[in-house]
Structure 1
Amino acid sequence: MNVLFLCTGNSCRSILAEATFNHLAPDGWRGLSAGSKPAGYVHPRALALLAREGIGIEGYVSKSWDRLPVTPDLVVTVCGNAAAEACPVYLGPVLRTHWGVDDPAQATGSDAEIDAAFKSAYTILRARIEAFLALPLDPLRQDRTRFKAELDRIGLLLA
């Protein structure tokens, strides 16, 4: 199953989610990320945070949602802007949920304060991904209504 983490810039939150998901997910599950208006780079603080957490950082790039190698089965928007945008036509009738997280790339202040914003975004996303992966995924895939309800509930964790 392919899970797309979608935000506007695809430089921070969706990359953090994709890398964390791929680090934790069981065989047969794959995280992807993309942006509706990709920044064209992955934020160096996001990569540094992932590396500190022991998560591989190779191969992650900022990309548009129209350049995905596969069609996702599930789309998780991770920012307020993307939640209000229409999904591209090619995604078709995929399951969608919103797990909004403040954009750490917009954080201001000292280096420590900015790093704290990145850590907060990562902590929220990781907790939600862990909750997702703790679900009885095989049975839920057969019950889209219940699966959607569980995904939406997870999006409220640490909100």
Structure 2
Amino acid sequence: MESLLTDRLAILSHPQRLAVFRLLMRRCPDELPAGEIADVLQLKASTASVYLSALTQAGLISQRRDATRLLYAVNLDAAREVVAGLFVDCCRGRADLCPPQFSDLLGNISPMAHKTFNVLFVCSGNSARSIIAETILRERVGDRFTAYSAGTAHRSELNPFAVEMLKSKGHDVSLLRSKNIAEFHGADAPRIDFVFTVCDHAANEDCPTWPGQPVSGHWGMPDPVKADGTDAEKRLAFHQTYGALHNRIMAFSALSFENLNRVSLQKCVDEIGKETANQE
């Protein structure tokens, strides 16, 4: 085991191999094609292939063929073994020696306390998908959650089709505004319990670490803003996005938070993203 840990740490010591691993970790449990990984990290296809091969051989990521494509995903068991090897074995399981954020590895995993949860939906522009999700959560189950949304882009504006669609469904849009993610990293920002990315671009970005280690999920879906065709066809795209987000949010809000620990809750969040995506 010690030799395996040393080998894996050696693989991850290379900055660009580490970047590939971190990207797949951010997108977990998604499988990404090699081409997307190369594009996101601005790597040549041949270079990305070498890095992916090294990570696969070390068992840090998995590879699966889908027709003509090779799909890659992070191997969570291997990632946990690396962390455990550094912070559990070395510290002999003593919580006073291990960093506080790794206390879950020592079995101190308690259910989520019964309270009002702060939920942040993140997209690239904060003009449509994340705004729609914020609105649905606030008005459908706002008694248990406080909803926020933000974008990774420096500046954006609300999409008029999104605002029109929300109004047509009876939602109050008076509180909506486009926000940058920086608002939620300041000293006065609310403590976020859940972070959901609703577009692949935002999920692929290497964002700052969130205080308090919120549970995170990726619920990526097509951008209705990019829909082509007539105004009627564009409006249909926004209604479809609304329906997809509504399904995810209703499934999420129905979870038994008081009976789920963080590990179980994370699995539920991941499953919601996969199951609802398959239904669309």
The two structures have a TM-score, normalised by structure 1, of: 0.92
Matches within 5 A, 1:50-65: 50-65=166-181
2:163 aligned with 1:47: yes
Q: In structure 2, do the counterparts of structure 1 residues 81 and 49 end up closer, same or farther at CA, with 3 Å as the change threshold?
A: same
CA RMSD of aligned residues (A): 1.5
1:158 aligned counterpart, secondary structure:
helix
Partners of 1:17 and 1:86 lie apart in 2 by 22
* CA positional deviation for 1:88: 2.1
2:195 aligned with 1:75: yes
2:133 aligned counterpart, secondary structure:
helix
Instruction: Kindly provide the CA deviation profile for residues 36-55 of structure 1, in whole angstroms up to 9, marking residues without a partner as x.
Output: 10542111111111111111
Instruction: Show structure 1 runs of 4+ deviating over 6 A.
Output: none
2:270 aligned with 1:152: yes
Q: In structure 2, do the counterparts of structure 1 residues 92 and 101 end up closer, same or farther at CA, with 3 Å as the change threshold?
A: same
Of 135, 141, 153, the residue aligned with 1:19 is 135
Paired residues of 1:8 and 1:82 also in contact (CA < 8 A): yes
Could you tell me which residue of structure 2 aligns to residue 101 of structure 1?
A: 221
2:213 aligned counterpart, secondary structure:
coil
Partners of 1:22 and 1:136 lie apart in 2 by 19
Could you tell me which residue of structure 2 aligns to residue 133 of structure 1?
A: 253
Unmatched runs of 5 consecutive residues or more in structure 1 = none
Residue identity over aligned pairs, in percent, reads 38
Number of paired residues? 157
Partners of 2:223 and 2:129 lie apart in 1 by 7
The two structures have a TM-score, normalised by structure 2, of: 0.54
One-letter identity of the residue aligned with 2:177: V
Q: In structure 2, do the counterparts of structure 1 residues 53 and 13 end up closer, same or farther at CA, with 3 Å as the change threshold?
A: same
RCO comparison, higher one (Cα < 8 Å, 6+): 1
Unmatched runs of 5 consecutive residues or more in structure 2 = 1-116
Paired residues of 1:18 and 1:33 also in contact (CA < 8 A): yes
Q: Which has the larger radius of gyration?
A: 2
Moved more, 89-98 or 53-62: 89-98
2:128 aligned with 1:9: no
Q: In structure 2, do the counterparts of structure 1 residues 90 and 130 end up closer, same or farther at CA, with 3 Å as the change threshold?
A: closer
One-letter identity of the residue aligned with 2:181: W
Partners of 2:236 and 2:155 lie apart in 1 by 22
Paired residues of 1:10 and 1:35 also in contact (CA < 8 A): yes
Could you tell me which residue of structure 1 aligns to residue 153 of structure 2?
A: 37
Instruction: Kindly provide the CA deviation profile for residues 55-77 of structure 1, in whole angstroms up to 9, marking residues without a partner as x.
Output: 11111111111113413111000
Paired residues of 2:119 and 2:192 also in contact (CA < 8 A): yes
Moved more, 102-111 or 85-94: 85-94
Could you tell me which residue of structure 1 aligns to residue 49 of structure 2?
A: none
